[in-house]
Structure 1
Amino acid sequence: MADIDNDRLGKLDVYARTFIPQSLREVNRAPANIFPSEPAPWVDFARYVQTFAGSDFLTSDTTLRPEDYSDATPDKHNQSQTPPTPSDGAGQGISLLTKQYYHRYFQGALKHEGAALQQECDDHALFRVPLFQDGNMDPRPSMFTLHVPGLREQSLRIEVGDIVQLRQLRFDLRGDVTHGSLITNNDGKQIVTPRHADYQYNSVVWGIDRLRECLALRVDGLAPRSMLFNVQFTVQAERLRATYMAVRKGQRGLGAISSNSWMRSMLFPEPSDGYYQKTLNKAFIDLDLYDQLLNYEQSKAVNTVLNETYGTVPFIISGPPGTGKTKTIVELALQLLGKHETSHLLICAPSDSAADTLVQRLSKHLKLSDLRRINAPSRSFPEVPDTVLPYCYVDDGMFSLPSFAELMKCKAVVTTCRDVQMLVRARLSNRNLCELQCKLHSVIHPDTSPARARLHWTGLLIDEAAQATEPEVLLPLSFVTPPWTSGPDESQWPLFVMAGDQHQLGPRTASKQPSMQTSLFERLLDRPFYCYHPLARSKQSGGVMRPLTQDMLPILRPAFANLIRNYRSHPAILATPSSLFYNDTLEPEATDTDSLLSWSGWKGQGWPVLFSRNESPDEVEQDGGGWYNIREAMIACQYVQSFLQHALLQPRDVCIMSPFRAQVRVLRKMAREAPFTMPAVNIGPLEAFQGLESKLVIICTTRTRDRFLNQDVAKGLGVIHERKRFNVALTRAMSGLIVIGNSDVLVKDENWRAFLAFCQRNGLCDGLTPPLGELEMGNGGLVSRLERQLLHREGMDENDLHALSNGVRTLGVTDDDEHQLWESGIAFEKFVRESEEVGR
């Protein structure tokens, strides 16, 4: 009987949408009286512009003709119409991204993104749910609370100011849901009346409590006939329209309207935009660092950007996990501000949390008046760290913009890529400010020709750039772009620097199209200008970053930096990701990664990596609610309990992740209750941990049957055949990594096969795995440099260990070419430093 049920399940769509009775669906389709609600407080941008430009000095934005965006989404506060999505129009059939068809390419992509977002909203629709008043959340009479499952995990994209459509339910005498007119003729047919009997309240989100998974909704004019509702969420119209307009502006910067090539060189860099160097670099970098702990690669990246000798192209900092991307961006910002007193930097990140981190680090060196964190009014105050709040501007109980004079004095403005739209609407872009300068000069000095305007924003730095879509990056990029005509000369063009890692999770999009899921960061690194360079990471072999030599000259100076030193993880944890994603180039530099080695559960070599086999079948919640695995959750909690009983770490030092949200719910429930009772353990979906780290990471792969793998891949779910999720999962751990899964299923993925082969070669498995010969097919057969060095270290005597302590780069002491190159490089740098000291 079980086999029959399994066969039936295999033929069904396990991701089918939850069944909703037809009577409830019909309610949403019936005509209704629509009642709007008061919009949430927002910035009055027109009034803001008048405070510094009056009404005569800034023309209306003519970069877009009305017909260019007539199909874009309306303002989020316009409640009289359902937001459409941008039409691809002439963009149909444009599959190749080129300078000529840049706008059309992304026009079609944004259309699909809008449609996917609408589908996402439909998937989160709620039926027959209560609305109640909660005095603790908001005591005002027109404010109501709505519980939204999944709000904590941010699976639903919703912000303060968004519209939530509420269909009030009506019931007949039998208690069944009814809709339409209750007046019928002699034949029992409904008679249409001038006013509909059904009500739709277009409520507005005024507050979000993700911890309690509740929305505070403003609902004006609510007639309490029934407090049960159907709930429909709407697409964030303004966000879509902003990216659409940024793409269009990008096309104008690429086209004939522009007399300079800045935008073209930023989006489509060519060799002619670079700088050829004919001499070798100095061995010693003479920088007075703010952060004295910067390593050589980080310092070199900062030095290259400061000297501006790589050309007019984006400078890209490629930073694998734990290599200090943010540290490098912060140092670069401080150096730029210190070198040029007139510098004003726009510093962005794709997420609020990443932007907050930038502020926290910059605030250690910048005065309050020199640093500002711009938040949209849609952000709630509890989400902002206390250390960041002093750098935010609050007006009338919401986040807003500081005065024009205050903002112009500020040296560094930090915000998210999307929230740059606030600065755009406030007319503070380089093009707007240059126009204002010229207009004022013409009025004050009508008899003299205006001098060339000087750019206000001298640089754009984006951290975690691989997590932003290209249209999102175009928002800040078009904001700092020089005027298309009669602007400053090339020597004054703004810098553009991105830091990120294209091998970790990319942009979060509703659409699965590559055009939206490929970031500008990743696309540029695939261009010949970067990927064919002899010093590119992809060109290195044997795990050694080869230095520039005389015989390579002349050569394009690399407009990129490869960070290689990992300050997070034990070498055994790094071995597989370094080999698969980073050409075996990662160097373990972390200290105190041996703190969990005394745990008795480690196998084989005793390294802090363990694969635990689990064959218990995965199960699916009713109505496609998601996948979970009870036995796997039990194993994970038992491992955590074992570490806690041995007093090796605190609960907050543990992270348990799963790619399936249903399994996350099971894990949380099990860990919080007896017999485990571990409420402080961090448990969440895999995506939530990108950028974070924990001493011990337990990965619950959950999927133990292969019959649903194709559906997982089609939906972009799971951790099998998902390279970036695999890499993120393995690189969060500092001192211990445990993976729970079925090796018979995982082996079907070449990346998991390589990890399993690593575990089996070194005896790190708890349970049976496929034969080593099968595992070593493809990438699984590659033994990484870090693995070889770990094995070598295991056999070293005391003299070797003493020699090892004198060097940082290698894990083993060998006589190979790599070690000799490194030793000679250290000796040469020491000689140069001593020579410079003598010269002084």
Structure 2
Amino acid sequence: MAHVNDERLGKLDIYARPFIPQSLRMVNKAPANIISSEPAPWVDFTRYVQTFAGSDFLTPDTALYRKDHLDATPDQLFTPSYGVEQGSLLLTPQNYHDYFQGALKQEGAALQQECDDHALFRVPLVRNGNMDPRPAMFTLHVPGLREQSLRIEVGDIVQLRQLHFNLRGEVMYGSRITDKDGKPVMAPRHADNQYNSVVWGIDRLKECLALRVDSLAPRSMMFNVQFTVQAERLRATYTAVKNTQHTLSATSSDNWMRSMLFPEPSDGYYQKTLNKAFTDFDLHDQLLNYEQSKAVNTVLNETYGPVPFIISGPPGTGKTKTIVELALQLIGRQETPHLLICAPSDPAADTLVQRLSKHLKLSDLRLINAPSRSFPEVPNTVLPYCCVDDGLFSLPSFKELMRCKAVVTTCRDVQMLVRARLSNRDLCELEGKLHSAIHPNTSPAKARLHWTGVLIDEAAQATEPEAILPLSFVATPLAPGVDESQWPLFVMAGDQHQLGPRTASKASSMQTSLFERLLKRPFYCDHPLARSKQSGGVMRPLTQDMLPILRPAFANLIRNYRSHPAILATPSSLFYNDTLEPEATETDSLLSWPQWKGRGWPVLFARNILPDEIEQDGGGWYNIGEAKLACQYAQSFLLHGLLQPSDICIMSPFRAQVRVLRKVAREAPFSMPGVNIGPLEAFQGLESKLVIICTTRTRDRFLDQDVAKGLGVIHEPKRFNVALTRAMSGLIVLGNPDVLVKDENWRAFLAFCLRNGLCDGVVPPLDELEVGKGGLVSRLEKQLLHQEVMDENDLRALPNGGRTLGVPDGDEHQLWESGIAVEKFIRESEDVGR
């Protein structure tokens, strides 16, 4: 069905799987002999550990390396120990394991369902031939690899069932195999085989997998393909959860892990005097602003207590810049610094290495990649900091790693270091046993931790089980114990109002990051200086009459260096208590475009009521009319010479619409191959001078199913926020206001556009929009209106014209700017303890 036009089908599951003939499905269910293929090359962790610890000095980690765990499926591995419904539990230190064990089981089941949804039927397998000298290598085309809709890695098993056909071209399986007269015949042996091929390579750009298929009988090269979930993907997080529960259950009073995961007011430090107004260190990055440098200074002085320090960074406020500066300062100050620096994704980890490499020697910095990572995905500037052994990513030698001052990896790939037995607990055990072996009659000294801290950037994008992997890696030993003065630092930077963890299940326990959960704890959210406690858009200063007070173990970044104020106005009001300060320069470069409406601010809502459609058999929503309109706007900027194609981003929350957009943009009459087009998720953390948002859905049919699947930008506040905050100098939104108005956040955006004449097309009346959040006029909107009044006064005062919005000209504008500067100076001078 290419288009659903019968409203009586309101209960139809539009995301149902495409119809597959029963004969093809039965092939997968028929009994078969399993033929395995050679695994992809991997790190030999046992051998690695023996290079520095022999075989006598580390207790075997049976929880991680038990044979039944290595062979288990996710469903077998994560069976809860007793029947507690995870959703009914309130997370506490006592039930940590049961809470997340149930959540991980749900995630494993959802991952398997995801694999089942991507199963392929009757597709060709191509022999690589002369293109690949490796034996038994084949190529399989997999739609969706480019957008990473299918989670698959090097080393994964892909099940292949070879198809056989009778003379009529019908699929044969098991007892259905017949001769030309239709009589059953003995099934040949190859018809009963299931080939467990192994992924040896991934080309996401071409959407192809390189599969090793041993002992394949090439009688037919048409196959059914089933993808599988490897237990390894969840095993590391399960083990971390299990070990964390053991730690939380310990009776020791100096429980570092408890204070990191469940901080209480008693864990914090009180301050009785205001802080110094100036920092006492030299910045590596001289462009750090007041809030960023204050965050670094607070962590360096460790004046807030043994609890996580949280850097709350809205879009474009420099979270990564702050984390990098903090890492460099810690390395310069600590006597023997060894930092673990993590991010949830490979690209984010690459960015950290690129920035740190400008200040650190090659011997002081390493990036740990799993062997499953593809070489083409790693930037050339990062490769020198990676360890490559026999053509695959591996671990540096023990001596190299111990010398490193900063080790960067993803939260998930910390398991590489865990399996190599390099955690603080393993190293302390090794040191103690070596000392006892060498000096049997002397008591060993108290343990001294190797890893002195863990920093996690973009922490709101990691699930809590993923975040505790690095946390448990640097955790203190339970015995003989470590002085509190030596406890590792734990710092997270992120934004809980942008897209959170990418999970297969919709369980809130998996979709709520540790970053977000901690910020909801009273220790943070009830603090008088928390962002949620601010009003009027001005961060409340700390004054003498507020003392004594718990020193805040958090920093609120407020200066946005990305976007024009008109672009920031709505997100700042809806998600950040109106606290964002626009600091970006050169955001007025697109103001001369003639199609801006009303006040001429670089924001435009363009009404589109052309029908949305559903791909055949529930493949996804698309809107051809919207795609053409988006390309027309993009082409207009190019024709006016205002932008290069690479400066333009067109996004949609639906992958089907992304495919349509790419097709329309690449072909005549547009021919814009250089324009960035992709799904909304792909642009988190990125920015473009012009962003065109295709909301795609123009009818309210099946919106409830969109919400249930976590799709679209309606009733999805985090997606809404990410979409609006990617733009630097221009933002265009295409959509049907009659549908978008059902969402209170979109209603607020539409009200902003209508109040200021920024709409192209008919929208609902303003009195209908200004309900709830729609009636809020943000501080930035008021400032823009005030600036416009100043501009009009200048226009009347100057005989030969005035100036354009955003161009600093005229005495009144200078006075206005001076007033803002004075306000900031007074606030920063008084807010010395903020």
On whether the aligned pair clears a TM of 0.5, the verdict is yes
Structure-1 residue corresponding to 2:52? 52
Structure-1 residue corresponding to 2:21? 21
Distance 1:417 1:829 in 2: 35
Structure-1 residue corresponding to 2:278? 284
Distance 1:88 1:422 in 2: 26
2:523 aligned residue (519, 524, 529): 529
Post-superposition offset of 1:625 = 1.0
Post-superposition offset of 1:10 = 3.5
1:744 aligned residue (735, 738, 741): 738
Distance 2:55 2:341 in 1: 30
Secondary structure of 1:197's partner?
A: helix
1:260 aligned residue (254, 262, 273): 254
Q: Against the structure 1 CA distance between its residues 769 and 574, is the aligned structure 2 distance closer, same or farther, given a 3 Å change threshold?
A: same
Structure 2 residue 267 is matched with structure 1 residue 273: yes
1:438 aligned residue (432, 436, 440): 432
2:710 aligned residue (716, 736, 744): 716
- Residue correspondence of structure 1 range 28-427 to structure 2 within 5 A: 28-61=28-61, 74=71, 84-90=76-82, 92-94=84-86, 95-135=89-129, 138-181=132-175, 197-256=191-250, 260-427=254-421
Structure-1 residue corresponding to 2:514? 520
Aligned-partner residue type, residue 436 of structure 1: L
Structure-1 residue corresponding to 2:698? 704
Distance 1:248 1:754 in 2: 45
Post-superposition offset of 1:192 = 8.5
Aligned-partner residue type, residue 82 of structure 2: A
Q: Deviations over 1:660-703 (max 9, x none)?
A: 00000000000001110000000000000000000000000000
Distance 2:130 2:672 in 1: 28
Structure 2 residue 450 is matched with structure 1 residue 456: yes
Q: Against the structure 1 CA distance between its residues 307 and 823, is the aligned structure 2 distance closer, same or farther, given a 3 Å change threshold?
A: closer
Structure-1 residue corresponding to 2:481? 487
Secondary structure of 2:572's partner?
A: helix
Moved more, 94-103 or 262-271: 94-103
Aligned-partner residue type, residue 20 of structure 1: I
Distance 1:727 1:500 in 2: 14
Q: Which has the higher contact order (CA 8 A, sep 6+)?
A: 2
Post-superposition offset of 1:437 = 0.5
- Residue correspondence of structure 1 range 508-657 to structure 2 within 5 A: 508-657=502-651
Kindly indicate whether the alpha-carbon contact (under 8 Å) linking 1:32 and 1:196 is maintained by their aligned counterparts in 2.
no
TM-score by length of 1: 0.94
Q: Percent identity?
A: 80
Kindly indicate whether the alpha-carbon contact (under 8 Å) linking 2:18 and 2:617 is maintained by their aligned counterparts in 1.
yes
Distance 1:258 1:135 in 2: 62
Structure-2 residue corresponding to 1:824? 826
Q: Deviations over 1:468-501 (max 9, x none)?
A: 0000011111100010111321110100000000
Post-superposition offset of 1:813 = 5.0
Kindly indicate whether the alpha-carbon contact (under 8 Å) linking 1:18 and 1:624 is maintained by their aligned counterparts in 2.
yes
Q: Deviations over 1:629-650 (max 9, x none)?
A: 0110010000011000000010
Secondary structure of 2:257's partner?
A: helix
Q: Against the structure 1 CA distance between its residues 491 and 707, is the aligned structure 2 distance closer, same or farther, given a 3 Å change threshold?
A: same
Distance 1:475 1:652 in 2: 37
Secondary structure of 2:174's partner?
A: coil
Q: Deviations over 1:273-319 (max 9, x none)?
A: 10000001111122200000000000000000000010010000000
Distance 2:713 2:132 in 1: 40
Q: Deviations over 1:699-751 (max 9, x none)?
A: 00000001211110011101000000000000000000000000000000000
Secondary structure of 1:202's partner?
A: strand
Gaps of 5+ in 1: 76-80, 833-840
Post-superposition offset of 1:199 = 1.5
Post-superposition offset of 1:828 = 6.9
Distance 2:374 2:64 in 1: 32
Kindly indicate whether the alpha-carbon contact (under 8 Å) linking 1:469 and 1:519 is maintained by their aligned counterparts in 2.
yes
Aligned-partner residue type, residue 128 of structure 1: R
Distance 1:623 1:678 in 2: 30
Distance 1:273 1:801 in 2: 52
Distance 2:97 2:456 in 1: 22
Q: Against the structure 1 CA distance between its residues 174 and 65, is the aligned structure 2 distance closer, same or farther, given a 3 Å change threshold?
A: closer
Q: Deviations over 1:527-555 (max 9, x none)?
A: 00000000000000000001110111100
Post-superposition offset of 1:190 = 6.3
Secondary structure of 1:428's partner?
A: coil
Aligned-partner residue type, residue 749 of structure 2: F
Kindly indicate whether the alpha-carbon contact (under 8 Å) linking 1:786 and 1:811 is maintained by their aligned counterparts in 2.
no
Post-superposition offset of 1:89 = 2.9
Post-superposition offset of 1:812 = 9.1
Aligned-partner residue type, residue 432 of structure 2: C
Q: Against the structure 1 CA distance between its residues 192 and 767, is the aligned structure 2 distance closer, same or farther, given a 3 Å change threshold?
A: same
Post-superposition offset of 1:467 = 0.1
Distance 2:131 2:283 in 1: 47
Kindly indicate whether the alpha-carbon contact (under 8 Å) linking 2:74 and 2:109 is maintained by their aligned counterparts in 1.
no
Kindly indicate whether the alpha-carbon contact (under 8 Å) linking 1:112 and 1:511 is maintained by their aligned counterparts in 2.
yes
Structure 2 residue 722 is matched with structure 1 residue 728: yes
1:692 aligned residue (682, 686, 696): 686
Post-superposition offset of 1:657 = 0.2
Q: Against the structure 1 CA distance between its residues 436 and 11, is the aligned structure 2 distance closer, same or farther, given a 3 Å change threshold?
A: closer
Post-superposition offset of 1:62 = 5.4
Aligned-partner residue type, residue 489 of structure 1: D
Q: Deviations over 1:343-393 (max 9, x none)?
A: 100000000000000000000000000000000000010000000000000
Q: Against the structure 1 CA distance between its residues 176 and 188, is the aligned structure 2 distance closer, same or farther, given a 3 Å change threshold?
A: closer
Q: Against the structure 1 CA distance between its residues 484 and 629, is the aligned structure 2 distance closer, same or farther, given a 3 Å change threshold?
A: same
2:776 aligned residue (766, 778, 782): 782
CA RMSD of aligned residues (A): 2.4
Kindly indicate whether the alpha-carbon contact (under 8 Å) linking 2:543 and 2:831 is maintained by their aligned counterparts in 1.
no
Structure-2 residue corresponding to 1:763? 757
Distance 1:670 1:91 in 2: 52
Distance 1:416 1:399 in 2: 14
Secondary structure of 1:58's partner?
A: coil
Post-superposition offset of 1:504 = 0.1
Post-superposition offset of 1:196 = 7.5
Kindly indicate whether the alpha-carbon contact (under 8 Å) linking 1:91 and 1:107 is maintained by their aligned counterparts in 2.
no
Distance 2:789 2:163 in 1: 74
Moved more, 641-650 or 249-258: 249-258
Q: Against the structure 1 CA distance between its residues 62 and 200, is the aligned structure 2 distance closer, same or farther, given a 3 Å change threshold?
A: closer
Kindly indicate whether the alpha-carbon contact (under 8 Å) linking 1:85 and 1:115 is maintained by their aligned counterparts in 2.
no
Secondary structure of 1:90's partner?
A: coil
Secondary structure of 1:504's partner?
A: coil
Secondary structure of 2:540's partner?
A: coil
